[in-house]
Amino acid sequence: MTDVLIIGGGLAGLVSSIELAHRGFMVVVVERKIYPFHRVCGEYVSNEVRPYLEKLGLKIADLGVKEIQRFQFTSPSGRALETDLDLGGFGISRYALDFALFELAKKAGVEFVMGETVENVEYTEEECRATTTNHLRLSARIVLGTFGKNSRMDKSLDRDFTHKKSSYVGVKYHIRTQFPQDLIALHNFQDGYCGISAIEEDKYCLCYLTTRNNVRKHGSIANMEQAVLWKNPHLKRLFNESEFLYERPEVINEFSFEPKQLVENHILMVGDAAGLITPLCGNGMAMAIHGGKIAAELTARFLNGSISRRELENRYKKAWKRQFSTRLWIGRNVQRLFGDAWLSEAALSFFGLSTPLLRFVIKSTHGKTIT
């Protein structure tokens, strides 16, 4: 029996575990992998959450992060548009960031159960009971669902969005190449877009989103990259002139950008489990961190007896929607401009006529600085 059970040890889960442990609560995190490990992710963090991470005790400067201040996007033909980022951000791999937060959480007293996957959660008046695939049983006063984009728990809970087929595929590489370290670029291609930005140790994250149909049509990821991505000259250069550091790419399938319920079976959904912002907005990591903070603060009030479970769930829904619903809506609609070659060219021309409009869209998918 513990105070809080957190299912998933990504950014949202790690941040909320640290916050709750600092407040004196017993916290158990279940993670199906063993730290450190790679995740499919753009690996850019908006500075809006930097003061908060440092307040938790994370020494960001010691992680070798790269400071990013400029944004560029290109159309499939290679035409480019560039602007400054108001807040800016930093580049850091999930391999390094998650591991640093994991070490910080352990130091705070968080208990980890690794190599296990929660497949079922039952709720009673007094507690929540979870069972893993290896028949480990865990009980807690409250459960946070921080299990990411695509999890067995989504199907176990019969969440609405799981009934809609998702066609998306995410692919990530780490590379070494010649590219400005203060720039994050988004290169468009037919049925997708690819981001590149600097991370620690003079490496770069190269991560793209496309569709299953795009991969099926060409038979493999490698064939699809040559036939589709390389039509954008910026991507062709990156793929041909870079040193690829993975033997094979990290890949994730069938994740959804559909709206999601924020509370399921009394489990507070946090991070990507609550709602996934389109990668072109480049703000998923900051949202997961901010969401973890919101969930932890309200959970602490429930555990202290200040609010009831019903009040906790209602307040969490309101707080989450107030912070993130507009960002996700804008992200879903802006993404529609970049799945088609003609629309991508038109969008670049349109934003090129008004740089303030482009900066407004970027600002609308980011939040204010939190501490």
3-state class of 155 per DSSP? helix
* 21 has a pLDDT exceeding 80: yes
Angle at 231 between CA 167 and CA 199, to 5 degrees: 75
* 109 has a pLDDT exceeding 90: yes
Identify the residue with better confidence: 50 or 350: 50
Confidence of residue 59 (pLDDT cuts 50, 70, 90): very high
pLDDT more than 70, % of the chain = 96
Phi, psi for residue 54 in degrees, rounded to 5: -70, -35
Q: How far apart are CA 279 and CA 316, in angstroms?
A: 24
**Fold for the domain defined by 2-364:** FAD/NAD(P)-binding domain (3.50.50)
The DSSP code for 182 is: T
Find the helix or strand (DSSP H, E) in which 128 lies. Answer: strand 128-132
Q: How far apart are CA 122 and CA 128, in angstroms?
A: 6
Half-sphere exposure for 284 (CA within 13 Å, toward CB): 22
Identify the residue with better confidence: 348 or 274: 274
Give the lowest-confidence range in 33-37, 145-149, 331-335. 331-335
Q: How far apart are CA 187 and CA 208, in angstroms?
A: 9
Identify whether the C-beta of residue 215 lies closer than 8 Å to the C-beta of residue 167. Answer: no
In this predicted structure, what is the pLDDT of residue 338? Answer: 63
Rg (alpha carbons) of the chain, rounded to whole number: 20
Strands 204-211 and 192-198: antiparallel
Q: Domain locations in the chain?
A: 2-364
Phi, psi for residue 182 in degrees, rounded to 5: -100, 10
**pLDDT tens digit sequence for 87-105:** 899 999 999 999 999 999 9
Q: How far apart are CA 159 and CA 283, in angstroms?
A: 24
Closest by Cα among 5, 12, 70 to 39: 12
Confidence of residue 349 (pLDDT cuts 50, 70, 90): confident
pLDDT more than 90, % of the chain = 70
How far lies 327's CA from each of 188, 283, 333, in Å?
A: 21, 9, 10
Give the lowest-confidence range in 80-89, 141-150, 240-249. 80-89
**pLDDT tens digit sequence for 272-302:** 999 887 766 668 899 999 999 999 999 999 9
Q: What is the pTM of this model?
A: 0.93
Q: How far apart are CA 314 and CA 354, in angstroms?
A: 40
Identify the residue with better confidence: 262 or 331: 262
Alpha helices in the chain (DSSP H): 11-22, 50-56, 94-108, 152-156, 212-218, 221-227, 233-241, 284-303, 309-335, 341-352, 355-364
Mean pLDDT over residues 170-187, rounded?
96
* 366 has a pLDDT exceeding 80: no
In this predicted structure, what is the pLDDT of residue 233? Answer: 97
* 357 has a pLDDT exceeding 80: no
Summary mean pLDDT of the chain: 91
